[in-house]
Structure 1
C-alpha cells in the first residue's frame, strides 16, 4: 500500500508543470505572485490609458510612484493590525474614526497645549505628541477589546459603535475646526522633500535590506539542516537572493530618481547660501519617512506573528477558538491585546496622516476602515479565520491605493471610486472562498 502511494506521489510530481515545480522549489506563495501580477497590470493599464487618451503616461513615473508609496503608508500600517483582528474572526469598523480622534488629540496637544508649557518650537513637542497619540489609540483599542472579550459584545457592534462615537468625539474635541499648523518637525513624519532621507540614506537602507535578506536565507538553510527539514535546491536559494536584492536595488534607484521640485531647491539654495544655478542642482528625495515607518511596522509585525508566542496564540485562536481555550490559551486577554495593538497602529497612522496634511481636520480617516479591511482581505487574510500574512496586507494596501490613484488620474469622481473599491472587496472575498474550497 505504501509503495502504491509513493508511486502515485511520484507520478504527481512528474506530471507537474514547470511553473508548479518552480513554486514548489522556491516556496513562493502563489497568491503573492497573483497580487504582484494584478498590481503590475493595474500600473501598466493606467499608464497606457494616459498614453492613449492624453498623449503621455503619468502613472509609471518616479514622481507618481513615490507619492503612491507615501499615500499607501497610513492604510498599510493599519492593515497589518487588521490582519490579526480578522485572523481571530473579528472585525474592526472603527479604525478610521480612531485615526481621526487620535490625530485631533495630537493636533490639540502640539498646537494649543505644549507650546504654552514648553514654548513654541521646542524640540520635544513632536516626541511628546507622537507618544500621546499612540497612547490614545492604544487606550481606545483596549476599551474595545475589553467590551468584546469580557462583556461578550460582538466585535461588529462594538466597533460600529466606536465608529460613530469617536467620529462624534472628534467633532466635539475640535469644535468643528481644522487645527493647524502642527509642529514643523512633526510634519517631516508625513513625507515631502524634507520628510525623506535622500539618496545616500536610501542606499544605506537598501544595503541593510540586502544584507538582512541574505542573512535570513542563510539562517533558514542552517535551521533546516539542524532540524533535518527538506532543503531548497541551491538554484532556488540563489534565485531568491538575486531576485530579492535586485528588487531592493531597483526600488532604491526609483525613489532616488525623483528629485526635489525646483521651487524647493531654490529655497534650499537661498537658505544655505549655495551659488550653484538651480537648474544644475538635483537633490533626490530617496525613501520617504512614512514609507520607512510602514516597512519597519511590517518587519516588526511579521516577527510578532511568526516568531513569538503571542503570534502563535493569535493563529491558534483563529483556527479553532474552542480548542485554543481548552489548550490553556487566555483567549480573552489575547483579544484585548489584539485590539489594543490595532488601536496603537491607528495612532501611528494618525501621525503619518496628520503630518502629511500639516493639520488635523474632522474628516481625517473617513472611510479608511473600508480601505484597511479591503487591503487585508485582498492580501489573503481569510474571514474564516486562522489565515493571513502581514506582507500580503501591505501589498493589498498598495493595490487599493494604486486603484484609487489611477482613477483620480483618469478623472473618475469620488462616487465611482467607492463603487470600484466596494466591488474589488467583494471580488477578493469570493476569490478567497474559491481558494479555500480548492484547498480542501
Structure 2
C-alpha cells in the first residue's frame, strides 16, 4: 500500500515543479522577496550588506523581535492584539538591571560577578513579564475589556514604571555572565558552531524522513523521492552556509588580545578566531522549536487555533476560552521577559528607550509572516522570517544612508502592502479573511 501511494504521487506528471515539492507558495514568495532584498542592498552597498560582519550583526539584532513575534502569532490568532510588548520589555529590562546592578549588591551584598546575580536577574524579568502578561489576559478574558484598550494602557504605563524604577538613568555595567546572552559577548566559537550546524542538518534530514514515513504508514500521498532529497539538500545547504558565514567573521584583534590577557596569555602573531553562532540565536531557535511544537502537537495549540477560527464554536465545544486567553497573554509576557534579557545583554546596559517601537515591529513581523488579523491562521516560522525581513530592510536602508524618518515611512508602507497582498492571496485560495 505504501509503495502504491508513492507510485501514485510520483506518476502525477501533470503536476508542476512546485506542486510536486508541495511548497507553501506564500512562504516561497516571502523567501524570494527576502533574497531579492538582500541582493539589492548588497549591490547598492557595493558588497557590504552580505559580509560576514553584517550578517552576524543583522542576526543578533533580529533575535529579540523575532522571539516576541512568535508569541504575537498566538495573540493575533486568538483575534487579539498586544500593543504593550515594547513597554513590557522595557520594564522587564529595568527590573533586571536594578536587580543585578543595585538591589542585589546593596541589599543582599552580592557583588558584581557573583554567580547568582545573572540567574536571579533573569528570573526576575521572566517572572514579572509572565505575571503582567497574565494580568492583561485576565482583564481581556474574564472582564471582556478589549485587548486593544488593555494593552494600549500597558503601552503608556509600563515603560514609565520602568523609568521611575531607574530614576531615568541608564544602568551599567551589567554582570558579565548576563552579557553572554546578547550576541557578540557569547558565541559558540568555530568548532562548536560547525558541530551545531551538523546536528541541525541531521535533525532536519531526520524530520523530513520521519514525516515521510508517517505519511506512508497512514497511506497518505507523499512527495517523489527526488523532491524530498531536493528540499533536504537546500535546507542543509542553507544551514551550513549560514554557519560558514558566521564563522568567517573574525573577532577584532583588540578584543582578542584582551581575551588572551584575561587568561594570562599573549596573543600569538597572526592568530585569528571566528565568532561563530551566537548563543542568542540558539535561544531563538529553541524558542521557535518549542512554539512550533506547541502550535502543532499540543492541546493548547489546537485550542488556540480553534478559538481563533471560531470563538463561539470553541466555547460551545467545552474550551475554557477565558483561561486560554490568560495563558496566551502570560506566554506573551514571558517571551517579552526573554527578549528583554537578549536586548539588554546585546546593548550591555539598560537605557530608557530600549524596546521603543518594538510593539509595531513585532506586530508587523507576525502579519508579514502570514498571521491573519481575522484570527485562526498563523505560523511561527513565518513570523521569524517576517522579523528578519523587517530588520534587513531597516539595516539596509541605514547602510545606504536613508534618514530615520524615511525608514519608518518605508516600513509602514511595506506593512500595508504586505497585508494587502496577503488578503488578495487568501481570497484567490477561497480563504475567508
Q: TM-score, normalised by structure 2?
A: 0.94
Q: Which residue, 274, 285, 292 being the options, matches 1:284?
A: 274
Matches within 5 A, 1:167-246: 167-192=159-184, 194-246=185-237
Q: Where does residue 304 of structure 1 map in the other structure? A: 294
8 Å CA contact 2:257–2:267 kept in 1: the answer is no
Q: Quick check: 121-130 or 262-271, which moved more?
A: 262-271
Q: Which residue, 147, 160, 168 being the options, matches 1:155?
A: 147
Distance (whole Å) between structure 2 residues aligned to residue 269 and residue 350 of structure 1:
30
Q: Deviations over 1:189-238 (max 9, x none)?
A: 1011x311101111111111111112211211221122221122111111
8 Å CA contact 1:265–1:281 kept in 2: the answer is no
Q: Deviations over 1:256-309 (max 9, x none)?
A: 01110111122223333544544x111110011111111111111111101101
Distance (whole Å) between structure 2 residues aligned to residue 316 and residue 303 of structure 1:
16
Distance (whole Å) between structure 1 residues aligned to residue 127 and residue 101 of structure 2:
18
**Aligned: 1:249 with 2:224:** no
Query: Which consecutive unaligned segments of at least 5 residues does structure 2 have?
Result: 1-8
Distance (whole Å) between structure 2 residues aligned to residue 289 and residue 115 of structure 1:
27
Q: Which residue, 21, 24, 31 being the options, matches 1:26?
A: 21
Distance (whole Å) between structure 2 residues aligned to residue 335 and residue 292 of structure 1:
28
**Structure 2 residue matching 1:72: 3-state secondary structure:** helix
CA apart distance, 1:15: 5.9
Q: Number of paired residues?
A: 418
Matches within 5 A, 1:18-417: 21-51=16-46, 57-116=47-106, 117=108, 118-192=110-184, 194-275=185-266, 277-278=268-269, 280-417=270-407
Query: Which consecutive unaligned segments of at least 5 residues does structure 1 have?
Result: 1-9, 52-56
Q: Where does residue 3 of structure 2 map in the other structure? A: none
CA apart distance, 1:14: 6.5
Distance (whole Å) between structure 1 residues aligned to residue 186 and residue 251 of structure 2:
11
Distance (whole Å) between structure 2 residues aligned to residue 233 and residue 374 of structure 1:
36
Q: TM-score, normalised by structure 1?
A: 0.92
**Structure 1 residue matching 2:143: 3-state secondary structure:** coil
Q: Deviations over 1:300-342 (max 9, x none)?
A: 1111101101001111011111111111111111111000000
Q: Deviations over 1:342-374 (max 9, x none)?
A: 000000000001111111111111100111001
**Structure 2 residue matching 1:150: 3-state secondary structure:** helix
Distance (whole Å) between structure 2 residues aligned to residue 140 and residue 404 of structure 1:
30
Q: Quick check: 417-426 or 70-79, which moved more?
A: 417-426
Q: Where does residue 433 of structure 1 map in the other structure? A: 423
8 Å CA contact 1:107–1:182 kept in 2: the answer is yes
Taking a change above 3 Å as real, the CA distance of residues 336 and 276 of structure 1, as seen in their structure-2 partners, is closer
Distance (whole Å) between structure 2 residues aligned to residue 155 and residue 208 of structure 1:
41
